[in-house]
Amino acid sequence: MSDRSPDKPKVAFYWCASCGGCEEAVVDLAEAILDVVAKVDIVFWPVAMDFKRKDVESMADGSITATFLNGAIRTSEQESMAQLLRSKSQLLVALGACSHLGGIPGLANLFDRASLMQEVYVQPPSTINAEGTLPQTHYQDNGYSVELPVFQETVRPLDQVVDVDYYIPGCPPTPKTFLAAVQILLGSELPVKGTVLAPDCALCDECPRKDTKPEKPVFNEFKRPQQMLVDEQKCLLAQGLLCMGPGTRSGCEALCVRGNMPCSGCYGPTSRVRDQGAKILSCLASLVESKDETEIDRVLSTIPDPVGTFYRYGLPGSLLQRKRPDGVRQAPLPSR
Amino acid sequence: MPEISLLSGPEAVRVGFYVCHCGTNIGGTVDVKALAGYAASLPRVAVSRDYKYMCSDPGQALIEQDIADHKLNRVVVASCSPLLHEATFRRALGRAGLNPFFLQMVNIREHVSWVHLDKKAATEKAQDLVRAAVRRVALHKPLQKRRVDINPSVLVVGGGIAGIHAALTLADAGKQVYLVEREPTIGGHMAMFDKTFPTLDCAACILTPKMTAVGSHPNIKLWTYSEVVKVDGYVGNYKVQVKHKPRYVIDDLCIGCQECIAACVYKEGKTPDEFNLGLSKRKPVYLPFPQAVPQKVVIDRDTCIEFKSGKCKKTCIEACGDRLAIDFKQKETFDEIEIGAIILTTGFKTFAPERNPYSGYGRYPNVYTSLEVERLINASGPTGGEVILRDGKKPASVGIIHCVGSRDANTNRWCSKVCCMYSLKLAHLIKEHTGAEVFNFYIDMRTPGKGYEEFYDRLLDEGVHFVRGRVAEVSDWAVHPSEEGKLVIRAEDTLAGFVRRIPVDMVVLSVGLEPQADAQDVRRLFNISCASEGWFLERHPKLAPVSTFTEGIYIAGACQGPKDIPDSVAQAGAAAAEALALIDAKSVELEPYTASILEEECSGCKSCISLCPYQAIAFVEEKKRAYINEVLCKGCGTCVAGCPSGSIKQNFFEDEEIFEEIEGVLAYA
């Protein structure tokens, strides 16, 4: 870090509530990462190099050109890091589905904090916790006092916590998507603030099976890949599989479909859609063949986990954001 | 969401807000002064006023003047339903040189003042709605109405008296009319009657001249034994497919001589005759009734030996001789027609009295429905006009039971409107034909109509008995020797205050009117609505009684609700006049609420294509994108909601506009 060039853009990476796959995607750039590294100075990247919070605190406000933050915001520590990095960065980029829309961790918004704690620390058959001890935020021992982050009630995407300039979608973003996004950011003209740095067309546009999609696929049952031999050429929706492709932003080059698995929606909606799950539901529901209510119920009951299917990556960023905790009237969350 | 950046500069949005008192309709429940004051405090509102009647000329002039004086470029009017006055206020904007679509209406009458009592809460709700409209209107875009030509032909569906009258009215006005009837003849229910109330003129005498006129009118294309199977298009430009069922007789060659009927290998009829409601038998080749129009026989493939075995001697073909009119190989055919307007006169069916077990229908042979009795009395009916029971006897006493399947919580709640009068008519005719003693069992006598009450008085003088009360049961259980071998009607006599048992030879059930069994299918086919009972729904019960919510489609006669002949004919004339007014305008303005594909953004997923009820969306192979034909699009918004990538935009209902409105309603004041 001693050979920092004053005119090279300074870049930071940080990791909140996520699996780490997005950082992996950065590493997956392979040789291409060298080109990136040649053009920028990495000033903060805890997963790869030894940095401390105080290193960031000591930087001047706005001194980081761009911070790529992945992961949703669940704890008080993540929230405070997000605020810190925001103030130090000219551009804050939400990297990956969790940061963009809430991601898989966001499905925890179907539960409240208390029941999650019970589920994890008290109820598992492999857990012995007779006193029902739950994680604490303060701990005192031997004269030492430790402060631990608060586990918050709700998982939030980054833009519900701080102002976000750009988004890179995907769970994780493909190396190609990441590289293209970085090149756009390094370019001379920045896109409009709030842009998701990926094509703004749905996945069918780049799907190799597009031509096999019928004009009227009809559903009498929704199937899951393990229940059938999936035809490797034919449109997956036409085979009765729940493919989120029509309602999902493209840019991944239909990787899952090429692997004979339906799109699960990780690139999120296009810029014109506020609620990906509602949109894809509205589309699919009209393709159920029967007009009889009981039969429609039966067809829909073949979707075992509707929220996990239609909002797999986007519940916290959707219009509803979360399940209302029992008996609690939800205070309005800040809108994006 | 894009921030509204129209607060300043030359493009700055300047809203004029107007709240209407509507006399006390709104002013009595909503504090209009406070509402105007509230609107004045909202961003972008340049002028805010309240006025007694906004729809009046001075009210409209107020808007026009303000647009000029205050450089308004958006207008919000809080008054009644846009259905009533949106066009009025849009015209006012147009006169002031503003695009008419820069208007947003807030319905604070039907949605607020008429449905609430608490003035404070109602005013708060009105404020929420006004806030939403003021926010939405800022995003409105200038739109242009489209004008399309109108095809001057008209389709009439159903050849009963209403359809006949509508078709003739239009044809006489020089319009090309297609009259489609699914039975082999036109005439409908009226053709089955003997006499009509209250004048007792002969139904056939007044109907058949009109039927023949239809058959021979140069402007009417009559298609019997045919059904509409597909309806595409929109007001002024409907495309309809008509299926012609094979009658196995070539229309153009059959001269109606009926020699084939006489020559049929069946010497006697074996099949219950539909037109006589099964009271007589017909042969496989038949003419529904002597005055049928067209005079073309029909062959019923279900009972014809040639169709069943292929081994008939085919004496009918021999009889037909050189005319060569019989064709056993005939297939169903289709015609595609283009028309500008459609009149539905699909009529009704009668209540099936088996649903009321107390009536004894189907259990006792001498229990008849009123329609069966019409056929018995008719001179061309199964008994040649003699009222003879199934056992060959002439009844000496007859009981007529009113309201079977009407005004009954267990079956149909509605009054069928015609039964009191036709029951009186049947009482008169039965008495005239048989001299029998006639008892009418009624709940209330309902005889409003010209000459109707006088007819009732006449019947009272003729010595017909009237028992006021609902019939409990018809049975053959005799408790007294005088009841032996008779049907006993047990009914409460609410005027005398006790229960009567009246033994009679014949029971007539005055069955009510019901929507056709396939009314729901027909309604879907033509994209109109039904009321909850299944009758076709008119656009407005008082002011648009023969229009529907689909432009260019009209309804007349009993398909809209129970009606007698004069009312059906009056409605048919009204529907014909409405259709004439439409097509004589030569062209029609269409709302510009069409949807369009964002071509760059469309992924070509095809989700929208099958959703369109108007077949307006096509997939363009070369571009791998969907395309909406703007002329066919009716702006229903189904594809817009269904597009999973948000790549369809609808004029006047863009997502931004709707979200802005929702957020306006939900925002804290």
Q: pLDDT confidence of B10, banded at 50, 70, 90? A: low
User: Is B606 in the A-facing interface, judged by CB distances under 8 Å?
Assistant: yes
Mean pLDDT of A162-172: 97
Q: From CA A210, how far away is CA A233, in angstroms rounded?
A: 10
Whether A32 is covered by a domain: the verdict is: yes
Q: Cβ–Cβ of B644/A215 closer than 8 Å?
A: no
Burial label, B415 (beta-carbon count in 10 A; 0-12, 13-18, 19+): middle
Chain A residue closest to B622 (CA)?
A211
Whether A35 is covered by a domain: the verdict is: yes
Residues A144, A280, single domain; the answer is: no
Which two tokens mark A252?
């991944």
Q: pLDDT confidence of A3, banded at 50, 70, 90? A: very low
Residue B615 with chain A: CB contacts under 8 Å:
none
Instruction: Write down the pLDDT at residue B146.
Output: 85
Residue B643 with chain A: CB contacts under 8 Å:
279, 283
Please state which of the four CATH numbers 3.50.50.60, 3.40.50.300, 3.30.70.250, 3.60.20.10 is assigned to the domain occupying B348-514.
3.50.50.60
Q: From CA B493, how far away is CA B405, in angstroms rounded?
A: 20
Q: From CA A276, how far away is CA A244, in angstroms rounded?
A: 9
Residue B619 with chain A: CB contacts under 8 Å:
215
Instruction: Write down the pLDDT at residue A2.
Output: 40
Residue A245, min C-alpha distance to chain B (Å): 8
Domain B15-144, CATH class in plain words? alpha beta
Encode pLDDT of B44-68 as tens digits. 999 999 999 999 999 999 999 999 9
Q: What domain range is A84 assigned to?
A: 1-198+314-336
Has residue A6 got a pLDDT over 90?
no
Q: Cβ–Cβ of A272/B606 closer than 8 Å?
A: no
**Which residues on adjacent β-strands are paired with residue B461?**
none
Q: From CA A59, how far away is CA A317, in angstroms rounded?
A: 31
- Nearest beta carbon to residue A202 from set B605, B611, B642: B605
Using the structure block, give the residue that is written with the tokens 């609505």.
B529
Chain centroid offset of residue B445 CA: 27
Has residue B1 got a pLDDT over 60?
no
Contact B446, B423 (CB under 8 A): no
Q: From chain A, which residues contact B within 8 Å (Cβ)? A: 200-205, 210, 213-216, 245-247, 249-250, 269-274, 279-280, 282-283, 286-287
SS3 B583: helix
Residues A53, A180, single domain; the answer is: yes
Counting every residue written for chain B, the total comes to: 669
Q: From CA B123, how far away is CA B103, in angstroms rounded?
A: 22
Instruction: Write down the pLDDT at residue A7.
Output: 77
Has residue B657 got a pLDDT over 60?
yes
Instruction: Write down the pLDDT at residue B106.
Output: 98
| Residue B311: CB atoms within 10 Å | 8
Residue A205 with chain B: CB contacts under 8 Å:
603-604, 624
Instruction: Write down the pLDDT at residue B4.
Output: 45
- The set of residues, in sequence order, having a beta carbon less than 8 Å from that of A98 and lying 6+ positions away, is A16, A17, A18, A22, A70, A71, A72, A104, A105, A106, A157, A171, A313
Instruction: Write down the pLDDT at residue A329.
Output: 56
Has residue A335 got a pLDDT over 80?
no
SS3 B404: strand
Instruction: Write down the pLDDT at residue B648.
Output: 97
- Nearest beta carbon to residue B619 from set A215, A280, A283: A215
Mean pLDDT of B284-293: 94
Chain centroid offset of residue A280 CA: 18
Whether A175 is covered by a domain: the verdict is: yes
Encode pLDDT of B458-475 as tens digits. 999 999 999 999 999 999
Q: How far is CA A157 from CA A56, A101, A154, B54, in A?
A: 22, 5, 10, 48
Residues A112, A29, single domain; the answer is: yes
Encode pLDDT of B80-90 as tens digits. 999 899 999 99
Q: Which of B126, B127, B125, B80 is nearest to B105 (CA)?
A: B80
Residues A86, A233, single domain; the answer is: no
Q: From CA B549, how far away is CA A301, in angstroms rounded?
A: 36
Has residue B446 got a pLDDT over 50?
yes
Angle, helices B82-95 vs B57-69, to 10°: value is 40
Encode pLDDT of B225-268 as tens digits. 999 999 988 899 999 999 999 999 999 999 999 999 999 999 99
Encode pLDDT of A262-282 as tens digits. 999 999 999 999 999 999 999
Q: Cβ–Cβ of B643/A204 closer than 8 Å?
A: no
Encode pLDDT of A80-129 as tens digits. 999 999 999 999 999 999 999 999 999 999 999 999 999 999 999 999 99
Residues A248, A329, single domain; the answer is: no
Which two tokens mark A108?
């925890």
Q: Cβ–Cβ of B646/A269 closer than 8 Å?
A: yes
Q: Cβ–Cβ of B607/A205 closer than 8 Å?
A: no
Contact B45, B15 (CB under 8 A): yes
Counting every residue written for chain A, the total comes to: 336
Preferred mutation among A286, A288, A309, A336 to probe B, highest tally of B CBs within 10 A: A286
Residue A130, min C-alpha distance to chain B (Å): 47
Residue A275, min C-alpha distance to chain B (Å): 10
Domain ranges of chain B: 15-144, 259-323, 348-514, 516-576, 594-650
What DSSP line would sit under B181-244, residue for residue?
-SSSSS-TGGGG-SEETTTTEEHHHHHHHHHHHHHH-TTEEEE-SEEEEEEEEETTEEEEEEEE
Counted domains in chain A: 2
Burial label, B514 (beta-carbon count in 10 A; 0-12, 13-18, 19+): buried
Which two tokens mark B43?
């961003």
User: Is B611 in the A-facing interface, judged by CB distances under 8 Å?
Assistant: yes
Phi and psi for A287 in degrees, rounded to 5? -100, 0
Q: Cβ–Cβ of B607/A269 closer than 8 Å?
A: no
Please, what is the average pLDDT of chain B?
Answer: 94
Please state which of the four CATH numbers 3.40.50.1100, 3.30.70.141, 3.30.70.20, 3.40.50.920 is assigned to the domain occupying B594-650.
3.30.70.20
Residues A33, A87, single domain; the answer is: yes
**Which residues on adjacent β-strands are paired with residue B231?**
B240
User: Is B645 in the A-facing interface, judged by CB distances under 8 Å?
Assistant: yes
Residues A249, A298, single domain; the answer is: yes
